[in-house]
Chains A and B, each alone.
Chain A
Amino acid sequence: MSGVASAAGGKTLAGYNFAYLDEQTKRMIRSAILTAVAIPGHQIPFGSREMPLPYGWGTGGIQVTASIIGADDTLKVIDQGADDTTNAVSIRRFFSKTAGVRTTESTREATIIQTRHRIPEAPLAEGQILVYQVPIPEPLRWLEPREVETRKMHALSEYGPMHVQLYEQIATFGRIAATYDYPVMVHGRYLMRPSPIPKFDNPKMDRNPALQLFGAGREKRIYAVPPYTSVKSLDFDDHPFSVESWEHCCGLCGAGASYLDEIVIDDKGGRMFVCSDTDFCTQRQAQGFRGPLNSEAAE
């Protein structure tokens, strides 16, 4: 898709600093990021600012991106895996307006990828930074609503209740029913919430060469998974971790191993499955791959 224009580098919004935040704030956030990198998976409180986008719409990720982005960076923003979803468009525009950076839809070209709900299908490389937008950073929150308690539980590695919850699902349903936001252990120490990515993406976090940063604006927390860090999805020996799978392949590019969006195409139960990662799908089609429902294939 070529609908997104790349802005020329350097030009920023009159009356505002480069990338919106003032330099002091950026330093404060970078210091929180460094602490987070030093203690993988541990949530670091930071003085989250009010951003001109609403809380819950990516303010944490935007602040992290604003603090690390430079004029020579190339930014990609995805929501639900797609570059053309409205909120991704809005955040990408925010940065081309306030930082004047180059933007891209290509996973490979990007130096910083800000994401909501997905990890790109294409493998990431050293030097790339994946910035996650996080609504609720605390993995134990649904078990214990109180921050004072959950902080204690982390300090004591008291993660038994989470295992019990997964076990209860097995007892009730015969399988682990957690689907997205599936809890992971980072570097064998901290239980971490991978932001609501589908568990399909969890294995991609493990020993990923890219730096993974997580920003939760409303909850004022930053956490990180440094490159090549172990990230293990919780499971049991007799109920190993497994991911979503489909009986279909992508209707457009024919991919059989990507995360698929289900699209309702009529009111008679008609469904079509397409890659959630639009860049991945477009690249494959450019390489000549065709899915069963691609009109060009039908010709």
Chain B
Amino acid sequence: MYVAVKGGERAIENAHKLLAEERRGDPATPEIALSQIDEQLSLAVDRVMTEGSLYDRALAALAIKQARGDLIEAIFLLRAYRTTLTRFGASDPIDTAKMTIRRRISATYKDLPGGQVLGPTFDYTHRLLDFSLADEAAPALAAEVPAEPGSAMPRVADLLNQEGLIEEEAPGEDAAVGDVTRNAMTLPANRDVRLQLLARGDEGFVLALGYSTQRGYGRNHPFAGEIRLGEVAVEFTPPELGFPVTIGEITVTECQMINQFKGSAERPPQFTRGYGISFGHCERKTMAMANVDRALRADDLGEEVTAPAQDEEFVLYHCDNVEASGFVQHLKLPHYVDFQSELDIVRRLRADFEARRTGEAAE
């Protein structure tokens, strides 16, 4: 007669078995290989690496497989693994000017040194379902590779800088860069911490905030100065050697937004920058990130803070999808003790209410 409301060990075990079964799907369908995820769902891998803050395609592919394609769950898996890894040190800053370019476009100049390189992009495709892809043996199309790729491609922001038209981006003091994965954020946050949190931040959330700045909520007139995709070398300077050693190559997408700035008492009118970067090819994310980065600089630039995207505390505390997903979903956990407390008070308040009403009626 005592209804078993509390779950137990066996229930959990069975749920896990059921999950494994659902993950696998129909055994008649061949199991998906990690290399297939890596190669054919590569943008999913890119997003999981970016928001998981770990550059490892194989692990990201494994996380996606284990998470049944739920990318936020995959990001969570990757983060929980990443946090156990030993930290050897911080790499030297990557130099995106030296990137081996696969895609590079600028919306501010028709042509520029190095040219516009469209690269692999959904832009200008017609979003028509391609039924030939349903045929698993569809032949691959060979792309024409430019004869002389990756000649000098200075960054657009650097070109503007020669004229002093855009704010100087100081390389920063020698102070250690913040690390949001090791330290609790303090406010006001510095830009390094803000950029880290935005880079790890949920693509959907950052996209919506970036979008809101374009619709008048903290408007700052962005121009896509440059978006570049390609490979950069990662260098590490071991303290015992004292010179940098290349430890690998990673793919990154970088976006530099150029925004108007009317000037202030101390500063002449000039363009300002918003910055976005991601592992792999996450173009939408980097563009939105650049918008939000610029919006969050309102305070530094003496602009009035009026919109959500400019509100550092609001943006930084809510952009992480692993935190958000966990906390929203914790509502599934039992709350019957607190609910009992609420039942108790509601019953008392109702009794008070009834007593008052009968009292009033009697008068």
Q: Could you tell me which A residues sit within 8 Å of B by CB distance? A: 3-4, 16-17, 20, 22, 45-52, 54-57, 59, 79-82, 84-87, 89-90, 93, 116-118, 135, 146-148, 173-175, 177, 179-181, 196-200, 218, 220-221, 244-246, 251-252, 259-265, 272, 274, 276, 278, 293, 295
* Contact between chains at B337 and A54 (CB < 8 Å): no
**Quick check: B338 and A135 within 8 Å, CB to CB?**
no
Complex contacts, B348 vs chain A, CB 8 Å: 175
Q: B residues within 8 A CB of A89?
A: 7-9, 12
In the complex, how many angstroms separate the beta carbon of A107 from the nearest chain B beta carbon? 16
> Which residues of the partner chain A approach B328 to less than 8 Å between Cβ atoms?
56
**Which residues does chain A contribute within 8 Å of B352, judged by CB atoms?**
173-175
Binds A, one of B20-28, B81-89, B123-131, B260-268: B81-89
List 28 A-B residue pairs with CB atoms under 8 Å apart, sorted by A's residue number: A16-B84, A47-B182, A47-B183, A49-B181, A51-B80, A55-B330, A56-B330, A56-B333, A79-B333, A81-B337, A85-B6, A86-B6, A89-B8, A89-B12, A90-B12, A148-B313, A179-B344, A179-B345, A180-B338, A197-B337, A198-B337, A218-B323, A221-B184, A259-B337, A261-B5, A263-B5, A265-B3, A272-B1
Contact with A along B320-336 (1 / 0, CB 8 A): 00110111111001111
Name A245's closest neighbour in chain B (CB-CB).
B344
Using C-beta atoms within 8 Å of the partner chain, give the interface range for chain B: 35 or more
| Complex: A6 Cα to B335 Cα, angstroms | 27
Tell me what chain B mostly uses at the interface: helix, strand, loop, or mixed. Answer: helix
CB-CB under 8 A from A180, the residues of chain B are: 337-338, 341-342
Smallest beta-carbon distance B321→chain A, Å: 10
| Chain B neighbourhood of A82, CB < 8 A | 6
Q: Is the CB of B86 within 8 A of A22?
A: yes
Listed in ascending order, the chain B residues whose CB lies under 8 Å from chain A are: 1-3, 5-9, 11-12, 76, 79-80, 82-84, 86, 181-188, 313, 317, 322-323, 325-330, 333-338, 340-345, 348-349, 352
Q: Once the chains are docked, how many angstroms separate the CA of A255 from the CA of B322?
A: 42
CA distance A162 to B348 in the complex (A): 22
**Given A48-B184, A135-B330: A117 and B338 within 8 A (CB)?**
yes
Among A46, A93, A174, A245, which residue has the most Cβ atoms of chain B within 10 A? A174
A57 to B336 Cα, complex, angstroms: 15
Q: Which of B1, B187, B340 has the most CB of A within 10 A?
A: B340
A54-B326 contact, Cβ under 8 Å, with A146-B313, A199-B341:
yes
Name the A residues within 8 Å of B76 (CB-CB). Answer: 50, 54
CA gap between A89 and B10 in the complex, in Å? 10
CB of A86 within 8 A of CB of B341, answer no
Q: Is the CB of A55 within 8 A of B326?
A: yes
Q: Kindly list 4 other residue pairs between chains A and B, CB separation below 8 angstroms, not including A46-B184, A50-B79.
A: A57-B326, A89-B8, A245-B344, A259-B337
Chain B residues positioned under 8 Å from A80 (CB to CB): 334-337
In contact, B82 and A295 (Cβ under 8 angstroms): no
Once A89-B9, A180-B337, A263-B3 are accepted as A-B contacts, the answer to whether A50 and B322 lie under 8 Å apart by CB is: yes
Inter-chain contact B340/A198, CB cutoff 8 Å? yes
A146 to B313, CA, bound (A): 7
How far is A16 from B83 in the complex, measured between Cα atoms in Å? Answer: 11
The answer to whether A57 touches B313 (Cβ under 8 A) is no
Query: B340: which A residues are within 8 A, CB to CB?
Result: 198, 244, 259-262, 276
Give Cα A287–Cα B7 distance, bound, in whole angstroms.
25
| Minimum distance in angstroms from A214 CB to a CB of chain B | 15
Instruction: Give the residue name and chain of the B residue nearest to A136 (CB).
Output: B327
Q: Tell me the smallest distance from the CB of A64 to a CB of chain B, in Å.
A: 14
A252 nearest CB neighbor, chain B only: B2
Tell me the bound Cα distance from A85 to B8 in angstroms: 6
**A84-B326 contact in complex given A179-B341, A260-B340, C-beta closer than 8 Å:** no
Q: Establish whether residues A293 and B6, one from each chain, have CB atoms under 8 Å apart when the complex forms.
A: no
User: Across the interface, do B2 and A263 meet the contact criterion of CB distance under 8 Å?
Assistant: yes
CA distance A245 to B347 in the complex (A): 12
Complex-state Cα separation, A107 to B185, whole angstroms: 36
Contact, CB under 8 Å: B6 / A198: no
Contacts of B79 in A (CB 8 A): 50
Cα-based distance from A117 to B337 in the complex (angstroms): 7
Complex alpha-carbon distance, A17 and B294, angstroms: 41
- Nearest residue (CB) in B for A55 is B326
In angstroms, Cα B182 to Cα A59, docked, is 15
A20/B84 in contact, CB under 8 A: yes
Most buried by B among A4, A50, A79: A50
Contact status A47-B184, CB under 8 Å: yes
